[in-house]
Amino acid sequence: MTELPDIWSYLSSEPLAWLTATLVAYLIGDWCAQTTGRGPLANPVLIAVILLGTVLVLTDTPYQTYFEGAQFVHFMLGPVTVALAVPLYQNRALVRKSFFPMAGALLAGSLTAILSALFIAKAMGVSGAELISLAPKSTTAPIAIGIAENMGGLPTLTAVLVILTGIIGAITVTPIMNAMRITDWRARGFAVGVAAHGIGTARAFHVNQTAGTFAGIGMGLNALLTAVITPYILTNILGGTP
């Protein structure tokens, strides 16, 4: 019979265990979200991250070891970003019909997200690579990580900030929009897609189909806009040495 430590050393050196753990943790998170009627706090990503993070810390497993398994899931972000062109194309009539509100809300929402984050963080003493890592946090992970890498930020910190932003947006969008008495599902969805990317979009789809569609468009357009304007903002507005 194989000794328990041998089994553990096999499991901890192969990608299989952590890949499986990632999918199972997500299923648990999704199950929690479903059984609580998709309440905003029961966010599947948040639950999965807390579960996996706790297991890694308790078993003293380095993140690099975990990522060797989880990278197969992470890798899919690239092709899935390309796939975003399909809903964008399918909704082209909708995009054309709401062109002005969307163009304005995209520019206003995207600039607000980047500039307010940079100024608040700078005022609270954040600087250097951490500030650069923060700038693209409202756009979807693969794009934000690409921007951070190009501009001298910390890609893994950017990934964490992006996901926290998505979770904050997904949890708070419903109470905020209700408090502002905004009933137009297009506006609610589009705003959360611009401010809180894929996690906000996933939340919008659970609340309302129209909101989800507009969130997806907002996320896709903001991916393009953030990629173009963030390098400009970082080098010009913050004077090159944030």
Residues 93-122 that bind other proteins (CB under 8 A): 97-98, 100-102, 104-106, 108-110, 112-114, 116-118, 120-121
Contact assessment for residue 199 and residue 43, using Cβ atoms and an 8 Å cutoff:
yes
Within the chain, residue ranges assigned H as helices are 4-13, 15-35, 44-58, 63-75, 77-83, 85-90, 92-97, 99-123, 128-134, 141-151, 155-179, 185-207, 209-232
Counting contacts by CB under 8 A, is residue 166 touching other proteins?
A: yes
Instruction: Give the distance from CA 178 to its chain's centroid.
Output: 23
217 scored as a contact of other proteins (CB under 8 A)? no
Indicate whether 143 belongs to the interface with other proteins (CB under 8 A). Answer: yes
Q: How far is the CB of 13 from other proteins (least distance, A)?
A: 18
Closer CB to other proteins, 11 or 164, in the complex = 164
* Single residue of 11, 17, 28, 77 touching other proteins by CB under 8 A: 77
Backbone angles phi, psi at 37, to 5 degrees: 65, 30
Q: What's the length of the chain?
A: 242
Q: Which is nearer to other proteins, 81 or 207 (CB)?
A: 81
- The closest of 51, 50, 33 to 42, measured between CA atoms, is 33
Residue 236 identity: N
Shortest reach from residue 37's CB to other proteins, in Å: 17
Task: Give the residue with the Cβ less far from other proteins, 35 or 97.
Answer: 97
Point out which span in 4-12, 34-42, 138-146 binds other proteins (CB under 8 A): 138-146
